[in-house]
Chain A
């Protein structure tokens, strides 16, 4: 790793390679592919949040002249329970199979029950009403606390709590329990002079991606079937579908379209296996696309949480103990991001005594999906709110309080290993020195600050770089580009090869044209796929040097490589990449570099955000007046993209803190399934998000990269809620800080 190294391409703000297609409408997204003979699929969804399916009669629909296929859960082969690591963690195939089409129970309003393929979209939609279903309606359970009670209605008769010392004999809505500990929290609290203990809650929220789920498929009973879809991981889509439909991997090709936002939610499947089954039964290609209403009601949102946090410190500002109980709503099936929530809650702090207990709880809502740093925003919201309150009680500046207790190299984490070199202290210092922190607040304004931590991950990535006779190259990768990674791949390859970025074309290949690459998620792509790009480019350089040596009839040790030019150190003769590639046919054929890696050494990232708000005390409406996002990138390959990630994470977090929530009726029907009533922040709502890129290099990456995509959504929840609390003089522990809630808090306090 070369901290002080000067780079030619890394760190520049190059033009994005996919930009022209996107702004001109040429880019092909999930719903843009049509095939000859294609028909349309539509899903019949549950009108009840919790009901037993007594009978499904599809005969009238099947008899309709425009209907070409009808499928239910019974058309799919039985799959056994078994884990698959994707998105927020382990996915259970049996649960996934029952989520894409309900088996004997519907578990949330909007749960898919049956699907129809017909000659037109309108015909498919109309024919749904011909399917007759006999339900036995059951009491829904929506709230985590209610679901955890021993006498709560059960979603699954066969769900027994995992993670207990004794195997329970009674089924429960609590799917699992997790416990992490370090030191002795009782002793820690006994040593504290001041203790804060408080309850917190966060609502069910949606990732808010603009492009709904969409797919076009073609089943081929003799050859290879094809799935085109909007996904963060087409190799994992292939693995999931092949299991759900009991197909050989080799019989399925999955193509990742351009993606209009994912944020973790497009790491699983909803329509794809259903569409392929409809195609199998009809013998025709099938297209399916969710409406926005379906996206809200039936795709996976971020988990709601209820938490209790207790933190103690001595008068001089030393935190002596941190304790939390974190309860996560998994939705209809087990598997919330409770695990990473427990692991991240207190990681920004170097404290001797910690204890965290987590519960994964099923409720009658859509199965939760990953959402940008899954689990961490909710957990760290609760922890950071308590830290801010404690700093306030101690009369210590919140930055100084954090600096006094900050995690750093060598800090023993609660989840296991000691931290390597990390940049939290640098982020806190940057916050202290920021213009915003030095600016005085006006009347009715408040300020909040919070820190955030996310692990970042590595994993498998495959890359091939094919050089062309004119000395240009194609970077073939298997990582869908959800945040600008094609630009960073281009830049890392250019830096390694020594040729201009404009001479390299990055391409995301389908599952047949590149070896397995893990799903784009966990802030892994620029780190892990980037390492594969560098290794493939080094392979190209090695071969180009060999070819140059062959041209000059010298040994490869006599070849120097710099700025894309081979130099014969004895004669001083030079050959450019283009020169070598032009004559590659005479020196052994064309040149391709290759790398297949399972990347390790991911560098954790810390962030610190500052938020200033102004509250209208007559209406409870909060406006963000200034916001600064500070984060350690390790090394920013493309600073504009890194800033964009910081800004995007901040804006999503601000929405989570201020307005976003699923609103349910008592019988479990979502009442705000559209962007008019589910209010995400608009550009007109917010000031420009100011950014500070801190660079504390990750020594395990050749250019020092840490992931940057997820950490930025963690601090806003507590930064915003603390700022609102500061403005109104009442602590806001329940998100969102929406106008009715803020107004009520003001009125209750007065």
Chain B
């Protein structure tokens, strides 16, 4: 089970700060999150950046998620 930690923006929609999800890749993980949290939309998720086991991945659609991995949703950083 991967541990998913939500940003403060997403916590307003999920009602909790983290959850354990059984998914082997990011696409399945998002699908499971959308099933669990009705207030959560795909758009809200896609505008966030994601870190899987500490590595920030801008667009992780095809990323594998380790079984004991940690997935953080974060504010997307651009820069100057």
Q: Which residues of A contact B (CB under 8 A)?
A: 83, 85-90, 163-165, 178-181, 262-265, 267, 339-340, 343, 370-374, 415-420, 454-459, 519, 521-524, 598, 600-602, 700, 710
Contact = CB atoms under 8 A, between A and B. Distances in A.
Contacts of A521: 78-80
By secondary structure, the A interface counts as: loop
A458 B78 CA distance: 9
A600 B8 contact: no
Contact of A374 (B54, B56, B57, B79): B79
Interface of B: 5, 7-9, 12, 47, 51, 53-59, 70, 72-80
A534 B9 CA distance: 38
Contact of A457 (B12, B47, B58, B72): B58
A522 B79 contact: yes
B72 A417 contact: yes
A458 B51 CA distance: 13
Contact of A179 (B8, B53, B74): B8
B78 A86 contact: yes
A415 B75 contact: yes
Nearest to A343: B75
Nearest to B60: A600
A622 B30 CA distance: 55
Contact of B78 (A89, A165, A601): A89
Nearest to A176: B9
A340 B77 contact: yes
Given A178-B75, A339-B75, A371 B55 contact: no
Contacts of B51: 416-417
B47 A83 contact: yes
Contacts of A165: 12
Nearest 10 A/B pairs, CB to CB: A264-B80, A522-B79, A416-B72, A370-B80, A417-B51, A417-B54, A339-B75, A179-B8, A372-B80, A521-B79
Contacts of B58: 457-459, 598, 600
A455 B56 CA distance: 10
Contacts of B5: 416
A303 to B, nearest CB: 12
A625 B46 CA distance: 49
Given A85-B78, A178-B75, A373-B79, A90 B8 contact: no
A417 B70 contact: yes
Contacts, number: 108
Contact of B8 (A178, A373, A374, A519): A178
A83 B76 CA distance: 12
Contacts of B59: 598
Given A265-B80, A598-B59, 17 more contacts: A83-B47, A85-B76, A88-B78, A89-B78, A90-B76, A163-B8, A163-B9, A262-B80, A340-B75, A343-B74, A370-B80, A372-B80, A374-B80, A415-B74, A416-B5, A454-B79, A521-B80
A457 B54 contact: no
A529 to B, nearest CB: 14
A700 B55 contact: yes
Nearest to A707: B79
Nearest to A344: B77
Contacts of A600: 55-58
Contacts of A373: 79-80
B41 to A, nearest CB: 13
A419 B72 CA distance: 13
A494 B53 CA distance: 34
A483 to B, nearest CB: 11
23 contacts: A85-B78, A86-B78, A87-B78, A89-B76, A163-B8, A163-B9, A178-B8, A262-B80, A339-B77, A340-B79, A371-B80, A374-B79, A416-B5, A416-B7, A416-B74, A417-B51, A417-B54, A420-B54, A455-B56, A458-B56, A522-B77, A598-B58, A710-B80
Contacts of A343: 74-75, 77
Contacts of A416: 5, 7, 51, 72-74
A102 B54 CA distance: 43
A597 to B, nearest CB: 11
Nearest to B6: A416
Contacts of B53: 417
Contacts of B79: 87-88, 264, 340, 370, 373-374, 454-457, 521-524, 710
Nearest to A521: B79
Contacts of A710: 79-80
A457 B77 contact: yes
A583 B5 CA distance: 57
A602 B55 CA distance: 8
Query: Which of B7, B58, B72, B74: most chain A Cβ within 10 A?
Result: B58
Contacts of B57: 600
Contacts of B74: 343, 415-417
B54 to A, nearest CB: 4
A87 B8 contact: no
Contacts of A83: 47
B57 to A, nearest CB: 5
A180 B54 contact: no
Nearest to B72: A416
B10 to A, nearest CB: 11
Query: Which of A89, A164, A181, A519: most chain B Cβ within 10 A?
Result: A89
Contacts of B54: 417-420
Contacts of A457: 56, 58, 77-79
